[in-house]
């Protein structure tokens, strides 16, 4: 039995989730403490720039790599202080890092040229905390011919699978991903498309809010059908099953604004927000509706689980399946990804696999992550 820390900062670029858990000999994590740390404005701006090709990238990347690791380390120290613990009591930190580019294999992108890159220097994190760090989880799966994402389904299978009910787990972060947990058959999963990334970006630009609280702004508008049809015509949605993964390279606020400008129509901001919520809901629901039979239990985690309007829309689209947050299974929706990367660190230190080829398309199961001693 040991104590582990999971660090997650996702494509929403809203901040860092740092989570402390205890993992027993059975490999099951038990949540203990959690801390959310917002990104400093300057670092957030730099990270947004790095998500798209631009000038002076190497300089920006190098500085952001160290600055992000320092933020991670400060978050770890605050978490330990709140839990009255010291660094030597922690077995390891599982740090996802910040994805700044994700180019998985596709029909157009050969597996030999695919890549993914997460920053947040694990050397700096280990040096500043005095704790062993496991990081760089995705690139080994890419090296094995996989998508490098999503990685959460292996964790979902370990903690949420049922011997009697077909289940699905939907993680709605910046991007959304789906895990299918049938009673019989392999676990499968894939990124469905944008989760909160477009909704967050749009409301921040128009209302100055970091996110649409409970989906109230979206609920105040009406779906613009022509805009929705254009957004759903994105090539990513042509394949409704996996393996597949995506990121800001496919779905970004600048691209959205360009599409809206090309419509040559004046669309009210609240109607755009309603349309973006519908885009997220439909891109999640469509692959589930294509299954026959589909799962009868669906659980939602990530920030999207707190968007009341989005949850209601999913319930409407997926009726009569039962939909609830992962809190019903004993895991706060905000904690699931942090627990997953702590669990992956635990697996890596024991030489156990962390990927699922049935999800990512990798040639085989392998341990994920590189180890950085303190």
| Cut 0.85: pTM above it | yes
Q: How far apart are alpha carbons 26 and 218 in whole angstroms?
A: 43
- What's the pLDDT at 190? 97
**Closest to 309 (Cα-Cα) out of 280, 332, 283:** 280
- Span 326-353, mean pLDDT? 97
Does pLDDT of 205 surpass 90?
yes
**Are 144 and 157 part of one and the same domain?**
no
* CA 332 to each of CA 33, 97, 264, 335: distance values in angstroms, whole numbers, following the listed order: 12, 21, 43, 5
Torsion of CA 171, 332, 157, 281, to 10 degrees: -20
**Are 162 and 209 part of one and the same domain?**
yes
Does pLDDT of 101 surpass 80?
yes
Per-residue b or e along 39-77, where b marks 16 or more CB atoms closer than 10 Å to that residue's CB: beeebeebbbbbbeeeeeeeebbeebbebbbbbbbebbb
- What's the pLDDT at 290? 93
Q: How far apart are alpha carbons 242 and 198 in whole angstroms?
A: 22
- Span 256-277, mean pLDDT? 95
**Are 241 and 347 part of one and the same domain?**
no
- What's the pLDDT at 107? 79
3-state secondary structure 53-110: CCCCHHHHHHHHHHHHHHHHHHHHHHHHHHCCCCHHHEEEEEECCEEEEEECCCCCCC
Q: Is 20 helix (H, G, I), strand (E, B) or coil?
A: strand
- What's the pLDDT at 75? 98
Number of structural domains found in the chain: 2
**Closest to 165 (Cα-Cα) out of 180, 150, 178:** 180
Does pLDDT of 2 surpass 80?
yes
Q: Quick one: pLDDT band at residue 112, thresholds 50, 70, 90? A: confident
**Are 193 and 299 part of one and the same domain?**
yes
Q: Quick one: pLDDT band at residue 241, thresholds 50, 70, 90? A: confident
- What's the pLDDT at 63? 97
- What's the pLDDT at 153? 97
pLDDT digits (tens, 9 = 90+) for 176-195: 999 999 999 999 999 999 99
- What's the pLDDT at 106? 85
**Are 167 and 307 part of one and the same domain?**
yes
- What's the pLDDT at 195? 97
**Are 157 and 137 part of one and the same domain?**
no
Q: Quick one: pLDDT band at residue 239, thresholds 50, 70, 90? A: confident
- What's the pLDDT at 347? 98
Does pLDDT of 11 surpass 90?
no
Q: Quick one: pLDDT band at residue 109, thresholds 50, 70, 90? A: confident
- Span 320-324, mean pLDDT? 94
**Are 163 and 312 part of one and the same domain?**
yes
Tokens of 291: 């299954």
Provide the domain limits for residue 187: 152-329
CATH code: domain of residue 246: 3.30.420.40
Query: What single DSSP character describes residue 131?
Result: S
**Are 132 and 157 part of one and the same domain?**
no
pLDDT digits (tens, 9 = 90+) for 14-63: 899 999 999 998 899 999 999 999 999 999 999 999 998 888 899 999 99
**Are 165 and 311 part of one and the same domain?**
yes
Question: Mean pLDDT, the chain, as a whole number?
Answer: 95
Q: How far apart are alpha carbons 11 and 7 in whole angstroms?
A: 14
DSSP β-bridge partners for residue 190:
178
Q: How far apart are alpha carbons 127 and 206 in whole angstroms?
A: 41
- What's the pLDDT at 108? 76
**Are 170 and 300 part of one and the same domain?**
yes
Does pLDDT of 293 surpass 90?
no
**Are 173 and 285 part of one and the same domain?**
yes
Do 35 and 18 form a contact (C-beta atoms < 8 A)? yes
Does pLDDT of 1 surpass 90?
no
Q: How far apart are alpha carbons 353 and 344 in whole angstroms?
A: 9
- What's the pLDDT at 199? 98
**Are 23 and 107 part of one and the same domain?**
yes
């Amino acid at each position: 039995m040991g104590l582990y820390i999971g660090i997650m900062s996702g494509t929403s670029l809203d901040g860092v989730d740092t989570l402390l858990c205890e993992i027993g000999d059975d490999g099951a994590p038990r949540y203990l403490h959690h801390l959310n740390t917002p990104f400093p404005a300057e670092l957030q701006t730099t990270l947004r720039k790095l998500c798209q090709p631009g000038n002076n990238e190497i300089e920006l990347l190098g500085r952001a790599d160290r600055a992000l690791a320092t933020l991670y380390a400060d978050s770890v120290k605050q978490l330990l202080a709140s839990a009255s613990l010291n660094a030597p009591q922690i077995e390891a930190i599982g740090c996802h890092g910040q994805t700044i580019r994700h180019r998985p294999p596709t029909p157009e992108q050969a597996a030999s040229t695919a890549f993914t890159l997460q920053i947040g220097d694990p050397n700096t994190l280990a040096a500043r905390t005095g704790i062993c760090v496991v990081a760089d989880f995705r690139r080994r799966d890419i090296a094995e011919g996989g998508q490098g994402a999503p990685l959460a389904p292996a964790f979902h299978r370990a903690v949420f699978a049922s011997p009697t009910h077909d289940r699905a787990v939907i993680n709605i972060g910046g991007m959304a991903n789906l895990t299918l947990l049938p009673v019989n058959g392999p676990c499968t999963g894939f990124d469905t498309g944008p989760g909160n990334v477009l909704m967050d970006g749009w409301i921040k630009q128009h209302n100055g809010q970091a996110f649409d609280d409970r989906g109230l702004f979206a609920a105040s508008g009406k779906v613009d059908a022509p805009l929705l049809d254009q957004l759903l015509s994105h090539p990513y949605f042509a394949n409704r099953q996996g393996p597949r993964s995506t990121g800001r390279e496919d779905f970004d606020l600048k691209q959205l604004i360009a599409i809206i400008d090309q419509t040559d129509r004046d669309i009210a901001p609240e109607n755009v927000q309603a349309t973006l919520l519908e885009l997220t809901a439909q891109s999640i629901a469509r692959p589930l509706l294509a299954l026959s039979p589909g799962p009868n239990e669906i659980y939602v985690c990530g920030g999207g689980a707190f968007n009341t309007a989005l949850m209601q829309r999913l319930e409407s689209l997926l009726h009569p399946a039962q939909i609830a947050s992962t809190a019903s299974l004993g895991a706060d929706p905000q904690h699931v990804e942090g627990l997953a990367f702590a669990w992956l660190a635990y697996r890596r230190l024991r030489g156990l696999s962390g990927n699922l080829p049935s999800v990512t398309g990798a040639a085989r199961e392998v341990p994920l992550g590189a180890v950085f001693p303190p």
